[in-house]
Amino acid sequence: MESSLKIKAIIAEEQGAPDVFKVGEVDFPSNEGKENYVWIKTEATGINRAETMQRKGLYPSIPGETDVIGLEAAGYLVNSQEEYTSGEYKNNERVMALLPGGGYSDIARVHKDHLMKIPENLSFEEGAAIPETWLTSFQLLFLVASGKEGQTALIHAAGSGIGCAAIQLCKKVGITTIAVASTNEKLELAKSIGASHGINYKENADFSTLVQEYTGGKGVNIILDCVGAQNFDYNIKSAAVDCQWVLYGLMGGPKVPEFNLKSFMGKRIQLLCSTLKTRTNEYKADMITKFSEQFLPLFETGELKPIIDITLKYSEMKDAHEYMESNKTQGKIICTNDL
């Protein structure tokens, strides 16, 4: 049996509430059988909704990958175990990456094609706010849907990291956005980064009335939906003909009590279900290349900016998840590595 280096990580020995997290140790992630992989010495990680699902046991880790949670990180590129143990990695590039898991540990294994260089003007915290959130928004808008200039998009959970990224990407491309969120503060944030309209769904459960008003009765061409069943009928009423309705989460439950297909046929609605974590390495690499070419340079010019709500520590992961589940976030929750 080979000697194995232990590394610090936030681990959960059982599934459940945020207090299952504790600081622990895991094996250094071996690259055996994993061609083309490198490591990141993590400096910061972004917290994602999918990670709260994984903590609760509702979203399994990818087979063959670490059980340590964490879908994105920013830190230093590490090419070998020696670079890590010697501290030489500090001379390497600052990178951010989409991870198959392991973001909550001191060193995370990553496919070399899933790395992006952190723009020079951005901190590690800002870098950690980009991969999962911005790549997901990019994917939903431009790879799953075919968003283009002149369209109107309805953005649910506009205060989330994905929502804030989607609003900025839409503005850059010339897509008008209608933001939907639970508080007026979130809607103010959404408008400050480019949303044309905001709808507080606590005050307007049937948001479609306002959507129709804001679109002159035409409805929206794109819906970014992480809610699901709870808004199902209102989304149908909000849709324009040929609407591309991208479903990427089920925060409002999965069960639609009755689905009348006529309502879909009449508008030629496209319901496009998407997840990012389970896509192939090739899909992710291609997406990262496209995003890097088209949008990453705009972070350097300040035209796009990661929106960070709060920065905590890895050792405060319990608080980070509790805050995520409070549904009060405005932008990303970031944790910096204090392991």
Binding footprint of its own copies on the chain (CB under 8 A): 228-229, 232, 247, 250, 254-262, 264-265, 267-275
The tokens of 284 are what?
């992710």
The answer to whether 192 and 171 have CB atoms below 8 angstroms apart is no
Q: 242 or 338: whose CB is closer to its own copies?
A: 242
**Minimum CB separation from its own copies for residue 145, in Å?**
11
HSE-up of residue 278 (Cα within 13 Å, Cβ side): 9
**Minimum CB separation from its own copies for residue 248, in Å?**
8
Which three-class secondary structure state does DSSP give residue 233? helix
List all residues 6 or more positions away from 56 whose beta carbon is below 8 Å from its beta carbon.
15, 16
Q: 214 or 245: whose CB is closer to its own copies?
A: 245
The tokens of 191 are what?
């408008």
| Cα dihedral 236, 237, 243, 247 sign | negative
**Minimum CB separation from its own copies for residue 272, in Å?**
5
Q: 17 or 256: whose CB is closer to its own copies?
A: 256
The tokens of 277 are what?
């974590």
**Minimum CB separation from its own copies for residue 58, in Å?**
10
List all residues 6 or more positions away from 80 whose beta carbon is below 8 Å from its beta carbon.
none
Q: 107 or 246: whose CB is closer to its own copies?
A: 246
Q: 5 or 256: whose CB is closer to its own copies?
A: 256
**Minimum CB separation from its own copies for residue 249, in Å?**
8
| Cα dihedral 17, 9, 337, 333 sign | negative
Phi/psi of residue 42, nearest 5 degrees? -75, 135
Q: 1 or 265: whose CB is closer to its own copies?
A: 265
Please count the other Cβ atoms lying within 10 Å of the Cβ belonging to residue 187.
20
**Minimum CB separation from its own copies for residue 274, in Å?**
6
